[in-house]
Amino acid sequence: MTTTTTRAIPVLDDDPFTEESLRDPLPFQERLREAGSVVLLEKYDVYAMGRYDTVHTALLDWQSLQSSAGVGLSNFRYEKPWRPPSLLLEADPPHHNAPRATLEKILSPRAIRRMTPAWEQDAHDLLDEVLSGPREFDAVPALAEVYPLRVFPDAVGLREEGRDALLPYGNHAFNAFGPANFLVVEGAPHTQSLSAAVAQMCARGQLEESGFGADIWAASDRGDISVDQAPLIVRSLLTAGVDTTVHAIGAMIYALASNPAQWEALKADPSLVRTAFDEAIRLESPVQTFFRTAKSDVEIDGHLIPEGKKVLMFLSSANRDHRRWDAPDAFDLTRDPSGHVGFGMGIHQCVGQHVARLEAASLIGAMVERVDTIEIAGPTERHLNNTLRAWHSLPVRVTLR
């Protein structure tokens, strides 16, 4: 391939990682989608894509677009990673294969389904507590943050000590995929102690005898993975499994509370709980972005991306691309959201998605049984993060059935 066959790449001078853009990312995402299928973001010298087709294709092309140079802005070819790279997220085949296969088995739909009775009971217990108090409350601390932290650390087999590091550790990890902006600077003083707390929880002796953590260590006994790999694979659960589910549940509660007709539709047909969750993931894309690195000169839709350059995929923008979705900005339980790229696509597609789906279905399923109406009761507040779309505060008012 020669450069004479490729087309000029549109250039944008936008910075998607400013406070203003993170607060309201939709205007930039629209400019990105409409500027072209691949756009050079001058400020960072990265190639960004926001159309569904292009993002989808890029996610599947692990041969050309590698993960092992990091899936953040930082290029591991030239910069030292802030922590030892993830054996799942920041790895390519063949190294990716054994950790992925191990975790896929441990988090399989069948394995996760076994949690259903306990997690449904936990959801009802939490609602007993919350709904016995004032009928106006902040759904972020009361539900979205509490519920995953009730069920997931127990399922991993974590002791109590160190659990309070999980959310802030994940928050920093997701900021660290972006540039070293104000959010990374704010988080920096705490990184070392949070990393140490999380690393400690991954050790075999710190984990309960049953749970996902013990399952990972058992895989090392069988030789499926090495003993050195086990604690890092446990770390992946702790990095990827807490903030993501908290913010996904927040997104779902917000979507339902601000779309009363959809809440009514869900009450009328509770089998829609899983659609509601995936539709909320599509609409809000709790994980907004990920990078890849061009393994060699790559041609995408006629555009040349030079070897070693970073490629920034806007999952969020793809999930609202009018080329793929009718009325993309509407939260609509009659659509089939299942092609969204909010969990990624291809060999790295979220290995924990069955965990996330069961958490969300258990909580919202319990709410549907007990709550008659839910509405936004006051000013909402965003939680800013370089990768996550999140709520800090969601005041809601509920009436009971």
The Cα 344–Cα 315 span in angstroms is 7
For the bound state, the minimum distance from the C-beta of residue 352 to ligand 4IA, rounded and expressed in Å, comes to 8
Residue in the structure block whose two tokens are 């959201």: 337
62 near 93, Cβ under 8 Å?
A: yes
Binding mask 33-72 for ligand 4IA (x = CB under 6 A): ----------------------------------------
* Tokens representing residue 267 in the block: 């009450």
Q: Which of these segments, 33-41, 83-91, 324-332, 375-383, binds ligand 4IA (CB under 6 A)?
A: 83-91
For ligand 4IA, which residue of 74, 220, 244, 319 counts as binding (CB under 6 A)? 244
Helix axes 146-156 and 229-240, enclosed angle (nearest 10): 160
Give min distance, CB of 309 to ligand 4IA, in A: 21
86 is a contact residue toward ligand 4IA (CB under 6 A): yes
Judged by CB under 6 A, does residue 245 bind ligand 4IA? no
Contact by Cβ (8 Å): 220, 249: no
Residue 89 sits in the site that holds ligand 4IA (CB under 6 A)? yes
Give dist(CA 252, CA 199) in Å, integer.
31
Separation CA 56–CA 49 (nearest Å)? 10
Whose Cβ is closer to ligand 4IA: residue 242's or residue 266's?
242
Token reading at 227: 């003993």
Angle, vertex CA 171, rays to CA 104 and CA 213, nearest 5 = 35
Between 272 and 301, how does the x/- string for binding to ligand 4IA read (CB under 6 A)?
Answer: ---------------x--------------
Using a CB cutoff of 8 Å and minimum separation of 24, what contacts does 52-55 make? 52/318, 52/319, 52/321, 52/323, 52/324, 52/325, 52/341, 53/323, 53/324, 54/300, 54/301, 54/318, 55/313, 55/314, 55/315, 55/317, 55/318, 55/341
The reply on whether position 390 binds ligand 4IA by CB under 6 A is no
Asked if 88 is part of the footprint of ligand 4IA (rule: CB under 6 A), the reply reads yes
Binding part of the chain for ligand 4IA, among 13-21, 37-45, 103-111, 235-243 by CB under 6 A, reads: 235-243
Q: Taking the complex as a whole, how short is the minimal distance between the CB of residue 268 and ligand 4IA, in angstroms?
A: 33
Q: Which is nearer to ligand 4IA, 36 or 352 (CB)?
A: 352
Q: With contacts defined by CB under 6 A, name the span among 12-20, 82-90, 252-260, 367-375 that binds ligand 4IA.
A: 82-90
Residue 226 Cβ vs ligand 4IA, minimum distance, rounded to whole Å: 16
Strand 46-49 with 310-314, pairing: parallel
Judged by beta carbon, residue 89 or residue 216, the one nearer ligand 4IA is 89
Task: Report helix, strand or coil for 291.
Answer: strand
Residues 159-188 binding ligand 4IA (CB under 6 A) are none
Closest approach, Cβ 219 to ligand 4IA, in A, equals 16
Which one of residues 240, 249, 366, 368 is an interface residue with ligand 4IA (CB under 6 A)? 240
End-to-end alpha carbon distance in the chain: 65
Query: Taking the complex as a whole, how short is the minimal distance between the CB of residue 343 and ligand 4IA, in angstroms?
Result: 9
**54/244 with CB nearer ligand 4IA:** 244
| 14 phi/psi in degrees, rounded to 5 | -65, 150
Three-state secondary structure along 41-96? ECCCCEEEECCHHHHHHHHHCCCCEECCCCCCCCCCCCCCCCCCCCCCCCCCCCCC
Cβ atoms of 67 and 92 closer than 8 Å: yes
195 or 259: CB nearest ligand 4IA: 195
Number of residues that bind ligand 4IA (CB under 6 A): 8
Residues binding ligand 4IA (CB under 6 A): 86, 88-89, 236, 239-240, 244, 287
